[in-house]
Structures are given as structure tokens and as C-alpha cells.
Amino acid sequence: MKANDCMADLHLSLANANDAESIKTLMNLAISELQKPYLSADQIAASYLAMGLDTQLIEDKTYFCIWDGETLVGCGGWSRRSTLYGGNHTAGRDAGLLDPKMDRARIRAMYTHPDHVRRGIGRMIIDAAEDAAKAEGFKALEMAATLAGRDFYLRCGYTIESAWEDTNGPVPVPLLTMVKTL
């Protein structure tokens, strides 16, 4: 089977409020499974306090879903808002709008179903997010990347600007600020 055959049934759509429960389920599964090689059990548990669904992205129509038939296999998007990462419950959120002339748009909340990795799902979302941000006048992007996503984002042309830790939970969770000029 060729790589394109694997992607033949995949389709991208903008997320809507009806997708929220499926998105939450996928996020939780991806956090619990895909972080295992990079984080301790305590750090994975703490990740749920830093990561999760940000419904502002759905309302702003900047969040995408990738479906394989009726199954949600990936989600992610971008934002024109100041919040760099996290869900509705994450401390330190800022819904202020970014200035495309001065600020970098945000790549946000990228998750792939563990049974569907390496099928081009993340690339579909990154391409859609980058195109949409560029269409709104943004010249650069940034994200808070997990260690599990680091190599993928490097292959997509992002560079590591800094390494830091989220401290919303009982133990720190390592994250990377990664950036790309469009």
C-alpha cells in the first residue's frame, strides 16, 4: 500500500461544537499513550492540567479535525489569540488578539490518535493551519511543543527557540517553544 493510499480516506474539516466530546476523547488518548516514551507517569498526569480542549479555537474557526470515515484520527489548529497552549481549564489564558504585523500566530493543540500516527495526519493539519495564518497576514508561527512532537515539528521546518516547563500541575512538564517563519 502506498502512502497516498493510507491518506485516501482521510478528510479535513473545521471543528464545530458537536465535535467537542470526540476531540476530548482523542486528546486524552494521545496524551496518555504518545507521551509515554518521553514523560514519567506523574508528568503525564500533570499534562492533563496543561493540555486539553480550548473551545475558543472552535469558536474562532481555527481548529481542524481529520476524519478517517467516521473516526476522528487527528485534530489541531492555529490561533490569532495570545494564549500559547492549554485548554479551557488551563491557568494563564489570554484571549487578546495578536497583531499579524508584529506577533507570531500560534499552532495549537495538535493530537493524533495513537493507532493512526505516521499517516500524514499531522502534516495535513499543519499545512491547513499555516495556510490560514498566512492568509490572515501572519508572517511567523510559534507553539508550545511536547517532547513527543519535537521531531515531527522539526521535519515541518520549525526550530526550537527555548526549552521550559509547565508548572500548572504537581510536577513540571517539559515543553519547547518552537517557531517558523512563513
Contact 62, 89 (CB under 8 A): no
* 60 belongs to a structural domain: yes
Please report which residue ranges of 51-105 form alpha helices under DSSP H: 55-59
- What pLDDT band is residue 157 in, cutting at 50, 70 and 90? very high
Quickly tell me which residue has 518521553 as its cell. 38
Which residues are 112's β-sheet partners?
Answer: 74
Is pLDDT above 80 for 5? no
Q: Looking at residue 151, which CATH number applies to its domain?
A: 3.40.630.30
Q: Which three cell numbers stand for residue 97?
A: 488578539
Report how far residue 26's alpha carbon sits from residue 49's, in angstroms, rounded to the nearest whole number: 16
* 28 belongs to a structural domain: yes
* 168 belongs to a structural domain: yes
Number of domains in the chain: 1
Tell me which residue of 142, 163, 150, 27 sits closest to 88, measured CA to CA: 27
* 89 belongs to a structural domain: no
- What pLDDT band is residue 93 in, cutting at 50, 70 and 90? confident
pLDDT in tens, 7-63: 568 999 999 999 999 999 999 999 999 999 999 999 999 999 889 999 999 999 999
- pLDDT at position 7 is 57
Owning domain of residue 15: 3-84+95-181
* 90 belongs to a structural domain: no
* 50 belongs to a structural domain: yes
Q: Give the global pTM.
A: 0.93
Distance of CA 151 to the CA centre of its chain: 14
